[in-house]
């Protein structure tokens, strides 16, 4: 009996150790965030890079710095009410190509926000994983850059810890329209702001950073395989609460539309060509409200034959007058890949509370 208990205890300990090791592989221990000194012709900026939340971007930036790639490049795009961008052009406004590294994965889901003083990866519009050497420093709060308007947001990977006055000097430098850099407005400093050097202050645990890069890449691959994964996690909580509050279970149609009946109706059901009057409120899965007839105190009237998103047409068509539903509308039944800027990002799952008031 004692031997059996001892063996069982050893087995439990082995399982516990294995689980702890697996957990360690998934979530490496936090590491010290490295700092770099960026010396420019207008002064020195010290940046702290977030190796824990943005390891891939941090590693990429450090490798460019270590190779000397940034030496002699400039801040080529300066917008005093937005950001300052550099790391890709020479003082002659020629694009630097020698020493370029492969493009890196976009870590925009890391929880860091594009606030004043943060540094983020620049990339091509519509191409989430196109960041390379170029970066920008936010000179104002740019929370709009946290929203995935073209399939992804912009990945913050650090912040200014010293030299924000230098950032503001760059921000306020005189800009012109440069013939080698087509832009709708003057954005290129008349007197080039040159990055003399970018140097690591102290040391960086490269082995730990490599480990964190692997974990970050795995997470990104998971989200690339299912772009709606982060929204679906929030939807699960929304549905769970709606079911608990209403006492009704979620239902799902073949198209992917889901709904929970919040209040039963006792009136008629409209025909496919009827005009209906509803009250509604719409949210993104993160809780951001983007529209509400209730807030305007003005019901909305539309035809079930068209004129609104497909999720609405399908969801309202089977309701009874007096009924209220929570509709969970997937992107293919909503605004899809285009979204409805600026309120609704691309590929958004939409959440609506809709009440059918009358059939007109």
Q: Which two tokens stand for residue 1?
A: 């009996």
Q: Is 70 a catalytic residue?
A: no
Q: Is the pLDDT confidence value at 3 over 50?
A: no
- pLDDT, position 338: 87
Beta bridge mates, 303 = 275, 306
Mean pLDDT across 178-204: 96
Q: What residues have CB less than 8 Å from 225, skipping those under 6 apart?
A: none
pLDDT tens-digit series, residues 74-90: 999 999 999 999 999 99
Give me the domains of the chain, ranges plus CATH numbers: 35-225 (2.40.100.10), 229-359 (3.10.50.40)
User: If you write DSSP's letter for every residue of 124-173 in order, what string do you get?
Assistant: -TT-TT-B-S-EEEESS--GGGGS-TTS----EEEEEEE-HHHHHHHHTS
CB 40 within 8 A of CB 196: yes
HEC string of 282-329 equals: EEECCCCEEEEHHHHCCCEEEECCECCCHHHHHHHHCCCCCCEEEEEE
309 catalytically annotated: yes
* Active-site residue, 335 included: yes
Let me know if 181 is a catalytic residue.
no
The structure tokens listed for 164 are: 């924000």
- At 261-307, the pLDDT tens digits run 999 999 999 999 999 999 999 999 999 999 999 999 999 999 999 99
Of 280, 344, 349, 353, which one is the catalytic site residue? 280
Q: Is 226 exposed, middle or buried (0-12, 13-18, 19+ CB in 10 A)?
A: exposed
Tokens of 135: 């970066």
Residue 131, φ and ψ in degrees, nearest 5: -70, 145
Whether the per-residue pLDDT at 311 is higher than 50: the answer is yes
Please give the mean pLDDT across all residues of the chain: 92
Q: Is 280 a catalytic residue?
A: yes
336: left (phi over 0), alpha (psi -120 to 50) or beta: left
pTM: 0.78
What integer is the mean pLDDT of 9-37?
A: 63
3-state secondary structure at position 16: helix
For residue 99, say if its preceding peptide bond is cis, omega within 30 degrees of 0. Answer: no
pLDDT above 70 covers what percent of the chain?
Answer: 92
pLDDT for the residue 26: 56
Q: Is 290 one of the catalytic residues?
A: yes
Average pLDDT over residues 184-190: 96
Instruction: Please pick, among 328, 335, 344, 353, the residue that the annotation labels catalytic.
Output: 335
With beta carbons less than 8 A apart as the criterion, state whether 159 and 53 touch: no
On the question of pLDDT at 15 being above 60, the answer is no
Active-site option among 290, 300, 302, 359: 290
> Per-residue confidence at 7, pLDDT binned at 50, 70, 90?
very low
> In whole angstroms, what separates CA 280 from the centre of its chain?
27
> What number of residues does the chain have?
360
Catalytic residue among 224, 291, 300, 359: 291
Nearest to 318 by CA among 243, 267, 256, 248: 267
Give the separation between CA 56 and CA 59, rounded to whole angstroms: 5
CB atoms within 10 A of CB 136: 24
Which pair of tokens denotes residue 33?
Answer: 């965030």
Q: What strand order describes the sheet that includes 195-201?
A: 73-79, 83-90, 135-138, 118-121, 156-162, 43-49, 35-40, 195-201
């Amino acid at each position: 009996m004692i031997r059996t208990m001892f063996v069982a205890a050893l087995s439990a300990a082995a399982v516990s150790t294995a689980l702890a090791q697996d957990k360690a592989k998934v979530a490496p221990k936090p590491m010290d965030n490295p700092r770099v000194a960026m010396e420019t012709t207008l002064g020195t900026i010290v940046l702290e890079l977030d190796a824990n939340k943005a390891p891939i971007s941090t590693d990429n930036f450090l490798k460019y710095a270590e190779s000397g790639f940034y030496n002699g490049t400039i801040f080529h795009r300066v917008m005093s009410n937005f950001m300052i961008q550099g790391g890709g052009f020479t003082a002659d406004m020629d694009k630097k190509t020698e020493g370029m590294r492969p493009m890196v994965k976009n870590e925009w889901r890391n929880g860091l926000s594009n606030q004043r003083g943060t540094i983020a990866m620049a990339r091509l519009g519509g191409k989430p994983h196109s960041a390379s050497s170029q970066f920008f420093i936010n000179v104002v709060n740019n929370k709009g850059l946290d929203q995935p308007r073209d399939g992804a947001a912009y990945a913050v990977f650090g912040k200014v810890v010293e030299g924000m006055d230098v950032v503001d000097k760059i921000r306020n430098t005189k800009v012109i329209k440069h013939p080698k850099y087509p832009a709708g407005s003057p954005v290129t400093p008349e007197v080039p702001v040159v990055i003399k050097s970018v140097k690591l202050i102290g040391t960086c645990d490269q082995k730990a950073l490599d480990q964190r890069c692997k974990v970050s890449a795995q997470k990104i691959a998971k989200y690339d395989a299912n772009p709606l994964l982060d929204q679906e996690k929030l939807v699960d909580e929304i549905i769970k609460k709606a079911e608990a509050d209403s006492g009704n279970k979620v239902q799902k149609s073949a198209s992917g539309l889901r709904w929970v009946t919040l209040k039963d109706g006792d009136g008629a059901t409209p025909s496919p060509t009827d005009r209906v009057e509803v009250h509604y409120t719409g949210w993104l899965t993160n809780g951001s409200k983007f529209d509400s007839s209730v807030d305007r105190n003005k019901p909305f009237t539309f035809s079930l034959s068209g004129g609104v998103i497909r999720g609405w047409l399908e969801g309202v068509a089977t309701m009874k007058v007096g009924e209220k539903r929570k509709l969970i509308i997937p992107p293919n039944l909503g605004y899809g890949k285009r979204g409805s800027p600026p309120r609704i990002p691309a590929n958004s799952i939409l959440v609506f509370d809709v009440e059918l008031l009358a059939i007109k």
